[in-house]
Amino acid sequence: MTAGDTGVRAPETAVAVRVRVEGEMSEEDLAYLREKMEAVLGRPGLPPVSGEIRVSRAAAHHVGQPWTAGAEIRVGHCLVVVHAREQSARELADRLQDRLRSRTDRVAHRTHGTRRTATPPPWRGGETL
C-alpha cells in the first residue's frame, strides 16, 4: 500500500483515529494494525478518543529497524504521544499496542481527586483537632 489514509473506528464507542501509511504495507499488516489499535482504543471505560497514527517504512535497505510509528491520540482532555520503531510491521503493531495501552491506562486512571486524597495539614488550611 502506498501513501494513503485509512481509518480505525470501533462502532460501539466514540473512537475516531486516523491511520496514515507512507510506503509499502500489505493489506494483512494494515488489518493487523487496525485490530490492535481497536483493541486498545475501543475499550469500555475510556473517554472519547481521537487522533492520528503515522506509520512509515524507510526506503533504505540497510536500516536495521525500518518501520517507525508515531501516534498523537487525545484521550478525553489529555494528549498521549507514543513513538515506536521495529524490524517488521507486525512487531511495530505489537509494540505500539503495548505503549498505547500503558499510556491510555495511566490517563484513564488519573483524576484530579486522586491527587488530593489526604486532608491537608493545619498549616495549609486543613482541619485542626
Q: For the segment 65-105, what is each residue's pLDDT rounded down to a tens digit?
A: 899 999 999 998 899 999 999 999 999 999 999 999 999 98
pLDDT value at residue 97: 95
Task: Tell me how far the alpha carbon of residue 118 is from its chain's centroid.
Answer: 32
Question: Is residue 56, in this structure, part of any structural domain at all?
Answer: yes
Domain total of the chain: 1
Alpha-carbon distance values, 30 to 20, 45, 71, 123 (Å): 10, 26, 15, 58
Question: Is residue 30, in this structure, part of any structural domain at all?
Answer: yes
51: containing domain: 4-109
Position with higher pLDDT, 7 vs 121: 121
- Please tell me the distance from the alpha carbon of residue 97 to that of residue 88, in angstroms, as a whole number: 14
pLDDT tens digit sequence for 102-117:
999 888 877 545 555 6
Question: Is residue 122, in this structure, part of any structural domain at all?
Answer: no
| Helix or strand holding residue 83 (H, E) | strand 78-86
Closest listed residue to residue 42, CA positions, set 64, 63, 73: 73
What 107-114 contacts at long range (C-beta under 8 Å, 24+ apart), as own/partner pairs, is 107/75, 107/76, 107/78, 107/80, 108/45, 108/46, 108/47, 108/75, 110/78
Question: Is residue 21, in this structure, part of any structural domain at all?
Answer: yes
Q: What is the CATH number of the domain that holds 72?
A: 3.30.160.100
Question: Is residue 85, in this structure, part of any structural domain at all?
Answer: yes
Question: Is residue 78, in this structure, part of any structural domain at all?
Answer: yes
pLDDT tens digit sequence for 19-59:
999 988 999 999 999 999 999 998 888 888 999 999 999 88
Q: Residue 65 in contact with residue 30, Cβ under 8 Å?
A: no
Place of cell 497514527: 53
- The overall pTM is greater than 0.75: no
Question: Is residue 49, in this structure, part of any structural domain at all?
Answer: yes
